[in-house]
């Protein structure tokens, strides 16, 4: 009955029809031998576009790609010669989809360059994620290093990490492992551990630490320093000392970065005597050094790589470790004085100690920085006023030094909204309204704020007045 639904049938079978489709002329030829396809296991072959993109571009687009390549290569070789805005503007000048105009090598180099920023902020983060989004939308994979850089931006673009940054980092980690199928490296877990610790999510930090142990990652310098910071935030000085001992016994080279982390932990736990004793040891180590090297961002990154290399070698050749340790700088740095002045100035209001640290900064040739001025103005804003040791005369002295350093283009010094608010709060402790207006005008003529931030400062001035 069901067969009758169709009016007629040919006297053929399904196999005969399939055979005809395979060989419509029924010539009984042998099937062709090929093509024999093989998939290359080379990274560049797997990720490189199959078509020469230069043949599809007009001369103007080709010139932009050439300029972008030159800027990226120059930034990789001499970071100070090219700023990231120039690189990103060249990339933005390409027609969409922009990433398809770049070779795989240039694509990875571009992401590496955009990750080379000393100050992670919302601008640098959005710039990096803009290119990452283009890469993902075009179907190209990200490397482990690029995922890690994205995680680092998501967790460190603000001055103080919160639950929001922790969630962003965890979301990227899940996408990396579950969607992209790329397992996290030791650097991945160090970033996650660091942001969880700094955000105060100490239980989560312990879970991440345990996952690192479970996966069998060997600890390096970054992990040890993060662990020191973790115990410092928990105000567990016994754990802090144990972590430091473990770092030393593991063969890592100890330098000022490690010692500053210890000072931070001791001060947070209220052990000022331990912090001061360590600071005295750091001063003693600097006595034989006439001029301390200028440790900018690039130099500090290279120093860290060298110290990690030293640690790796000393684990295989322990007899070389004393020489490696002797080459490491353990003298006070800008971060040392930043920690001490923030604690003794802002928290304790001990102006005698602050004056001592400022004198010793000058003695050890540690350059002035905006972070020191910010701490001083915050201290005046908290402890200043009539009858206080933080007098108006001393505030004016700091203010004049700040303007002088600003006019002399001191590195690391600029007027941000945070700096401007701290200065106005400091002068608001004293009764002269005219002086507050003079200070505001002096800052306004020197700052480089956009319209929104300028309006914010005007509203803040009205509130202060």
- Rounded to a whole number of angstroms, the CA Rg of the chain reads 30
* pLDDT tens digits for range 359-383: 998 888 888 888 999 999 999 999 9
- Measure the CA–CA gap between 300 and 288, rounded to whole angstroms: 21
- Measure the CA–CA gap between 102 and 108, rounded to whole angstroms: 10
Distances (CA, A) of 111 to 91, 150, 170, 207: 11, 10, 21, 30
Distance spanning both ends of the chain, measured CA to CA: 96
Chain mean position to CA 102: 25
Considering the chain, what percentage of its residues have pLDDT values greater than 90? 34
The confidence band for 50, taking pLDDT boundaries of 50, 70 and 90, is very low
Nearest to 129 by CA among 142, 14, 308: 142
Q: What is the mean pLDDT of residues 392-412?
A: 89
pLDDT of residue 14: 64
The confidence band for 31, taking pLDDT boundaries of 50, 70 and 90, is low
Task: Kindly tell me if the per-residue pLDDT of 385 is higher than 60.
Answer: yes
pLDDT of residue 219: 78
Nearest to 274 by CA among 259, 287, 254: 259
Distances (CA, A) of 394 to 353, 355, 407: 14, 11, 20
Within a 10 A sphere around the Cβ of 108, how many other Cβ atoms? 20
- Measure the CA–CA gap between 155 and 198, rounded to whole angstroms: 10
Question: Can you say whether the dihedral through the CA atoms of 185, 296, 302, 115 is positive or negative?
Answer: positive
Which of residues 54 and 317 earns the better pLDDT score? 317
Which of residues 11 and 393 earns the better pLDDT score? 393
Distances (CA, A) of 262 to 238, 274, 283: 12, 9, 15
Which of residues 297 and 58 earns the better pLDDT score? 58
pLDDT of residue 442: 92
Task: Kindly tell me if the per-residue pLDDT of 131 is higher than 70.
Answer: yes
The confidence band for 2, taking pLDDT boundaries of 50, 70 and 90, is very low
The confidence band for 6, taking pLDDT boundaries of 50, 70 and 90, is low
pLDDT of residue 300: 66
Within a 10 A sphere around the Cβ of 44, how many other Cβ atoms? 11
Task: Kindly tell me if the per-residue pLDDT of 1 is higher than 50.
Answer: no
Average pLDDT, the chain: 83
On whether the CB atoms of residues 179 and 160 are closer than 8 A, the answer is no
* pLDDT tens digits for range 251-306: 888 888 899 999 999 999 999 999 999 999 988 887 665 545 555 656 666 667 77
Question: Burial letters for 239-271: b for 16+ Cβ neighbours within 10 Å, e otherwise?
Answer: bbbebbeebeebbbbbbbbbbbbbbbbbbbbeb
Of 13-17, 187-191, 265-269, 385-389, the one with minimum mean pLDDT is 13-17
Of 64-68, 92-96, 299-303, the one with minimum mean pLDDT is 299-303
- Measure the CA–CA gap between 379 and 45, rounded to whole angstroms: 59
3-state secondary structure 339-368: HHHHHHHHHCCCHHHHHHHHHHHHHCCCCC
Considering the chain, what percentage of its residues have pLDDT values greater than 70? 84
What angle (nearest 5°) sits at the alpha carbon of residue 300, between those of residues 294 and 306? 120
- Measure the CA–CA gap between 439 and 444, rounded to whole angstroms: 9
pLDDT of residue 37: 59
pLDDT of residue 296: 60
Sort residue 385 into left (φ over 0), alpha (ψ -120 to 50) or beta.
Answer: left
Nearest to 172 by CA among 160, 155, 156, 159: 155
Q: What is the mean pLDDT of residues 213-230?
A: 84
Within a 10 A sphere around the Cβ of 177, how many other Cβ atoms? 14
Nearest to 234 by CA among 200, 210, 262, 258: 200
Which of residues 373 and 24 earns the better pLDDT score? 373
Q: What is the mean pLDDT of residues 206-218?
A: 86
pLDDT of residue 18: 64
């Amino acid at each position: 009955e069901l067969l009758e639904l169709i009016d007629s049938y040919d006297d053929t079978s399904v196999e005969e029809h399939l055979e005809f489709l395979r060989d419509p002329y029924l010539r009984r030829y042998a099937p062709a031998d090929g093509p024999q396809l093989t998939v290359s296991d080379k990274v560049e072959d797997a990720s490189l576009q199959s078509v020469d993109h230069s043949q599809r571009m007009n001369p103007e687009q080709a010139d932009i790609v050439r300029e972008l390549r030159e800027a990226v290569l120059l930034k990789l070789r001499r970071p100070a010669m090219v700023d990231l805005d120039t690189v990103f503007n060249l990339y933005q000048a390409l027609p969409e989809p922009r990433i398809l105009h770049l070779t795989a090598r240039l694509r990875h180099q571009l992401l590496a360059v955009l990750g080379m920023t000393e100050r992670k902020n919302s601008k640098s983060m959005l710039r990096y994620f803009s290119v990452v989004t283009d890469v993902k939308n075009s179907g190209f994979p990200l490397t482990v290093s690029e995922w890690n850089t994205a995680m680092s931006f998501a967790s460190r673009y603000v001055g103080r990490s919160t639950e929001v940054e922790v969630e962003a980092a965890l979301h990227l980690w899940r996408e990396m492992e579950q969607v992209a199928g790329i397992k996290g490296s030791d650097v991945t877990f160090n970033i996650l551990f660091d942001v969880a610790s700094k955000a105060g999510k100490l239980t989560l930090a312990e879970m991440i630490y345990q996952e690192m142990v479970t996966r069998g990652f060997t600890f390096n310098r970054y992990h040890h320093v993060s662990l020191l910071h973790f115990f410092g935030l928990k105000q567990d000085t016994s754990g802090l000392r144990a972590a430091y001992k473990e770092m030393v016994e593991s063969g890592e080279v100890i330098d000022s970065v490690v010692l500053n982390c210890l000072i931070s932990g001791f001060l947070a736990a209220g052990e000022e005597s331990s912090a001061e004793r360590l600071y005295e040891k750091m001063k003693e180590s600097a006595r034989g050094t006439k001029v301390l090297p200028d440790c900018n961002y690039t130099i500090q990154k290279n120093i860290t790589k060298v110290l990690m290399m030293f640690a790796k070698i000393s684990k295989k050749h322990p007899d070389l470790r004393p020489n490696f340790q002797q080459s490491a700088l353990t003298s006070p740095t800008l971060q040392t004085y930043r920690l001490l002045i923030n604690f003794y100035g802002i928290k304790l209001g001990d102006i005698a100690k602050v004056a001592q640290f400022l004198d010793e900064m000058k003695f050890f040739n540690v350059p002035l920085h905006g972070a020191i001025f910010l701490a001083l103005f915050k201290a005046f804003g908290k402890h200043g006023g009539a009858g206080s040791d933080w007098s108006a005369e001393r505030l004016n002295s700091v203010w004049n030094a700040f303007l002088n350093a600003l006019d002399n283009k001191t590195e690391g010094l600029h007027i941000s909204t945070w700096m401007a608010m701290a200065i106005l709060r400091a002068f608001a402790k004293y009764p002269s309204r005219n002086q507050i207006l003079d200070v505001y005008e002096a800052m306004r003529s020197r700052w480089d704020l956009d319209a929104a931030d300028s309006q914010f400062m005007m509203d803040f001035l009205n509130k202060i007045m």
